[in-house]
Structure 1
Amino acid sequence: MRASLIQIAVNEGESVASRRSRVADLVREQSASDLVVLPELWTVGAFAYEQFETEAEPLDGPTCQEMARAARDAGVWLHAGSFVERAGDGSLYNTALVLSPEGELAATYRKIHRFGFDQGEAVLMSPGDTLTTVALPEQTLGLATCYDLRFPELFRGLVDAGATTMVVAAGWPARRLAHWTLLSRARAVEDQCYVLSCGLAGTHAGVEQAGHSLVVDPWGEILAQAGPGEDVLTVELDPGKVAETREQFPALKDRRLRR
């Protein structure tokens, strides 16, 4: 399975509508891939809190519609990153979308762990409460968003639900870049799965983004990693490697503590 991670640079001088159009074209350019992954909150910027309310949209709003067309045109599975969703009751969520090669909405995931320590996202958005997996022809994706990466129990839950590849859409700050790489590798090693961590570039509301998106194999080896700016990583994933790793080193079978 060929996967492409598009590390998007959010420039505050670029309108949301212009960025949607530009990103849709970037997705269309990945037609040779099977799976394309976008970062967290790339429409507004992960730390542009003042825009969350004004740029919020319903699940079937312009972001979903434009990404659905791009997925269909490219013929790819598209993890469209996340956007600010306004639910029917007015609540805001940090919501990820997965679209099929036909442009159909295959899954949504509302971010469970909100970042901010009682400010920012943590107070502006409501938490999700459901683990989400998506069955692709050769892999089952487990969905996580940014701060979720610090909570290994979420990933163990996804493993128990059948996930073999974890997709982490993020807007991770540059000042914690070392944690980004370390935690992505740790989740891959402890859950014996691929981890596709796709981050933002640029600066949002004065917060420099880490970039450095990466793909990690089930042994914790980094197969590819981007730099700090806008970039595209394309990696071939071996569909059988997860099962092979879990058979060669069956640590997951020795788990004793389960919820």
Structure 2
Amino acid sequence: MRASLIQLGVDDDEPVAARRERAAGLVRAQSGSDLVVLPELWPVGAFAYTSFAAEAEPLDGPTAETMSRAARDAQVWLHAGSIVERAADGPMYNTSLVFSPTGALVRTYRKIHRFGFDQGEAVLMGAGDRPVTARLPETVVGLATCYDLRFPELFRALTDAGAQTFVIPAGWPERRREHWSLLARARAVENQAYVLACGTAGTHAGVRQAGHSVVVDPWGEVLAEAGHDEEVLTAVLDTGRVAKIREEFPALKDRVLGR
């Protein structure tokens, strides 16, 4: 399976509508891939809290419409990162969108662990209440977002639900970049699964982004890693390797707690 992670630059001086169209163009350019991934909250910026309410949109809003067309045009599965979702009953959520190659919205995931320690996202947005997986032709994908990466119990629940590949869009800050790299590998090793972790580049709301999107295999080996700047990171995944490693080194069978 060929996967492409679009480490999109998110800067305050680019209008949301312009970035939306630019992202769609980058998705269309990956037409040879099977799966394309965008970062967390790329339309507005993960730390641009003061803009969340103004840029919030429904699940059939302009970002979803634009990404649906891009997925269909490129004939790819598209994890379109996440948007500030305005639910019909009022609350906002950090919601990921997954589109099929026909452009159909097949899965949504509301971020469970909200970042901010009683401020920012943690108080502005509601929390998701369940793990979500999506079945692609080549693999079962477990969905998580940014700060979720720090909570291994979510990834174990996704593994129990059949996940073989974790897709993690993020707006991770540069000052904690070492945590990003370490945790991505840890989640891969402990669950014997692929990790596709796609972050943003640039600086928004005064927060420099870590970049360094990464693809990790189920043995914990880094297959590809980006730098700081905007780029497209592509790797070929041997999806049969998950079952092979789980069979040859069956650590998951020795679990005692959390069964």
The bucket for the TM-score relative to the shorter chain is: over 0.9
What is the CA–CA distance in structure 1 between the aligned matches of 2:11 and 2:171, rounded to whole Å? Answer: 13
TM-fit CA distance, 1:41: 0.3
Structure 1 counterpart of 2:254: 254
Letter in 2 for 1:66: T
Letter in 1 for 2:57: E
Whether 2:199 is the aligned partner of 1:196: answer no
Structure 2 counterpart of 1:3: 3
Structure 2 counterpart of 1:69: 69
Query: What RMSD in Å do the two structures reach over aligned CA positions?
Result: 0.5
Give per-residue Cα distances to partners, 1:157-205, cap 9 Å, x unaligned: 0000000000000000000000000000000000000000000111111
Structure 1-normalised TM-score? 0.99
User: What's the secondary structure of 2:179's corresponding residue?
Assistant: helix
TM-fit CA distance, 1:11: 1.7
Provide structure 2 residue ranges, at least 5 long, that are not aligned to the other structure. Answer: none
Matches within 5 A, 1:80-159: 80-159=80-159
What is the CA–CA distance in structure 1 between the aligned matches of 2:9 and 2:233, rounded to whole Å? Answer: 14
Structure 2 counterpart of 1:29: 29
What is the CA–CA distance in structure 2 between the aligned matches of 1:26 and 1:138, rounded to whole Å? Answer: 23
What is the CA–CA distance in structure 2 between the aligned matches of 1:122 and 1:198, rounded to whole Å? Answer: 21
TM-fit CA distance, 1:239: 1.4
Sequence identity of aligned pairs in percent? 72
User: What's the secondary structure of 2:144's corresponding residue?
Assistant: strand
Moved over 3 A (4+): none
Number of residues of Structure 1 aligned to a counterpart in Structure 2: 259
Structure 2-normalised TM-score? 0.99
Provide structure 1 residue ranges, at least 5 long, that are not aligned to the other structure. Answer: none
Structure 1 counterpart of 2:233: 233
Give per-residue Cα distances to partners, 1:117-163, cap 9 Å, x unaligned: 00000000000101100000110000000000000000000000000
TM-fit CA distance, 1:258: 1.3
User: What's the secondary structure of 2:202's corresponding residue?
Assistant: strand
